[in-house]
Amino acid sequence: MFSRIRSWAALLAGACMLVVMAVSPATSHADNPIVQTIYTADPAPLVYNNTVYLYTGHDEDGSTYFTMNEWRVYSSADMVNWTDHGAPLSWKTFSWATGDAWASQAIYRNGKFYWYVTVTSKALNRPAIGVAVSTSPTGPFTDALGKPLASTSWGDIDPTVFIDTDGQAYLYWGNPNLWYVKLNQDMISYQGSPVQVPLTTAGFGTRTGNPDRATLYEEGPWFYKRNGLYYLVFAAGGIPEYIAYSTSPNPTGPWTYRGVIMPTQGGSFTNHPGVIDFNGSSYLFYHNGKLPGGGGYARSVAVEKFTYNADGSFPTINMTTAGPPSIAPLNPYAVVQAETMAWSVGVETEASSEGGMNVANIENGDYIKVKGVSFGSGAASFDARVASATSGGTIELRLDGPTGTLVGSCAVQGTGGWQTWTTKTCPVSGATGTHDLYLRFTGGSGFLLNINWWRFNGSGTATATPVPPTATRTPTPALPSATPAGPTATRTATPAAPTATPAGPTSTPVASAGCQVTYVLNQWGTGFTAEVTVKNTSASAISGWSLAWAFGGNQQVTNAWNATVAQTGASVTASNMGYNASIPAGGSASFGFQGSYSGTNSVPASFSLNGTACSIAQ
Ligand code: FUB
């Protein structure tokens, strides 16, 4: 891998330098594709605890087919800087598999993360669906069953999983056929036999020129519910693929084909979608062949922010190199893992002897870009956890470009080994306000140093730019099915879309050591939805919860999801479902509800969790 990364990185570094010098130091490098250190494919985002965890495949360098041996995990809280968590799962985890770590998706339920994967079964000599489990979103994961979870015929690939508001979980998968099962509560078994979805042209569009495949459905399904409507987003085609979708008022169809989301673009003949809502916005993940050396077997995951049309349909989304905007500044006064990057040139990552990952194989001219770093009134010094088996090098701290303003320079000496770590502290001057930070590495030839983490120190605290209210969706919550949005243009009962800017919490925070509530209010006419996240800020896990509040005006809850919401007069109580009853210390649970109102509708003034007052996130 080194030679490939080295050669394109060197070219890219040169090219980027020219662009920066020719345009302006403030010109940001593209942030799509998300990962530059390896080729990644088949994105599967999961929102958990105000963070997006991104599960991907890994196209091996030099592949001439889908040569994929492991899955990778990345995470981001701001949608621009992504932290590399390495490869916590490989096809080798499944003793019954012979290879092919193809497309996957992970989901959270009852304190565990279930990762549904495609691997080739030794016994069947064809792909099958396996499931791994962990108590952490970043693993380690183990095989939950010791055998395939589902197997029907050739083409058992690309699992997608969703837990409905009534707690029923569904697993869809397949190419060329589309299958589903209703998973049991344990998430590792299912009721009955796999059901084959009728691939009708009404449901999945009309394909021409291929007598074996009448519809546009190709592979890579992504199943979820939004506002009472079930969506199946999928790779459509044939080859080269594009991204299209179908909808249904029911989780198992019948489906109605709704059209193209993302036309064929990007230099990879597959594209594999994943869709989430995070922090009040919607995002489409996909892969393309846009990294240097990229193509159909050297793919890279990218993401676009988008807004659903008012009727719930998708807009046309095109691939960009800019990617989505940041949703919150990065605090440099807390430890930042060095493998947290918006963009990088030349570097790679590896497992660190200190746990997690570190950045490695750093050569002269390589750099890491960290976007939207909030230095506040100023940093005085910089700490870096470094190691070097050679004579080291220098970490230049630059603002807004790899040759931008130099605010610090940190000479790192040899430490006696690539995993022999020491903390180096260097002075910093002129780092104030919010900037893109570039860690640029200079020195002699060969590898210079490794870096595990860094942080700034000083009197300046990160600018108190408030993080917007977060609607954690695990899985994506949806409006109640009692008022389904119809799948066709004849829909009449669709609630009006929430106002573009949801009304944020307005109440004064109430101090509490036990819980914090984020209440995101979307309202229109006489209707409203509220998305509520309850965080357990105590040191102990909560098993079973009940959140109480009082409405101030004339509000009436009509439907709820991910909780049972009961109202008596102005008093309201939301109680957990079976599957989200437990909230670990530091963890959270999210639920939502729909209602009607007259007069004023505002965020309730106070909440109590199991009788304890909660603070309210601003
Ligand atoms: O990554 C291998 C295969 O390529 C996936 O299973 C398909 O969805 C396509 O992306």
Q: What is the pLDDT of residues 388-429, one digit of tens each?
A: 999 999 999 999 999 999 999 999 999 999 999 999 999 999
Quote the pLDDT of residue 217.
98
355/462: higher pLDDT: 355
Distance 304 CA to ligand 1 centre (A): 20
469 lines ligand 1 (CB under 6 A): no
pLDDT for residue 35 is more than 80: yes
In 3D space, the residue among 524, 532, 505, 468 whose CA is nearest the CA of residue 603 turns out to be 505
pLDDT for residue 582 is more than 90: no
For residue 57, which atom of ligand 1 is closest to its CA?
A: 1
102 lines ligand 1 (CB under 6 A): yes
Distance 189 CA to ligand 1 centre (A): 24
pLDDT for residue 309 is more than 90: yes
For residue 157, which atom of ligand 1 is closest to its CA?
A: 6
Query: Is there a contact between 333 and 461 (Cβ–Cβ < 8 Å)?
Result: yes
44 lines ligand 1 (CB under 6 A): no
pLDDT for residue 160 is more than 90: yes
Mean pLDDT calculated for residue range 251-263: 98
Quote the pLDDT of residue 568.
84
Ligand 1 atom 2: residue of nearest CA: 102
**Distance between CA atoms of residues 84 and 339, nearest Å:** 6
95/557: higher pLDDT: 95
Catalytic (active-site) positions: 42, 218
If 0-12 CB within 10 Å is exposed, 13-18 middle and 19+ buried, where does residue 615 land?
buried
Q: Name 81's Cβ contacts closer than 8 Å, sequence gap at least 6.
A: 326, 330, 340, 341, 342, 370, 371, 372
Q: Name 602's Cβ contacts closer than 8 Å, sequence gap at least 6.
A: 503, 506, 521, 552, 553
270 lines ligand 1 (CB under 6 A): yes
Mean pLDDT calculated for residue range 323-351: 97
**Element containing residue 196 per DSSP (H, E):** strand 190-196
Between 113-117, 186-190, 529-533, the lowest mean confidence (pLDDT) is in 529-533
In 3D space, the residue among 531, 520, 600, 521 whose CA is nearest the CA of residue 560 turns out to be 531
pLDDT for residue 197 is more than 60: yes
34 lines ligand 1 (CB under 6 A): no
Quote the pLDDT of residue 247.
98
219 lines ligand 1 (CB under 6 A): yes
362 lines ligand 1 (CB under 6 A): no
Percentage of residues of the chain with pLDDT beyond 90: 70
Residue in 60, 71, 158, 242 to alter for ligand 1 test, most ligand atoms within 8 A of Cβ = 158
173 lines ligand 1 (CB under 6 A): no
Quote the pLDDT of residue 462.
58
Distance 103 CA to ligand 1 centre (A): 5
Distance 219 CA to ligand 1 centre (A): 8
Distance 168 CA to ligand 1 centre (A): 27
3-state secondary structure 213-270: CCCCEEEEEEEEEECCEEEEEEEECCCCCEEEEEEECCCCCCCEEEEEEECCCCCCCC
Ligand 1 atom 5: residue of nearest CA: 103
If 0-12 CB within 10 Å is exposed, 13-18 middle and 19+ buried, where does residue 598 land?
exposed
288 lines ligand 1 (CB under 6 A): no
Q: What integer best gives the mean pLDDT of the chain? A: 85
- DSSP string across 70-110: EEEEEEESSSS-EEE----EEGGGSTTEEE----EEEEEET
Distance 412 CA to ligand 1 centre (A): 42
Q: What is the pLDDT of residues 204-238, one digit of tens each?
A: 999 999 999 999 999 999 999 999 999 999 999 99
Distance 158 CA to ligand 1 centre (A): 7
Residue in 40, 105, 156, 219 to alter for ligand 1 test, most ligand atoms within 8 A of Cβ = 219
Does the pTM of the predicted model rise above 0.85? Answer: no
268 lines ligand 1 (CB under 6 A): no
**Distance between CA atoms of residues 402 and 397, nearest Å:** 9
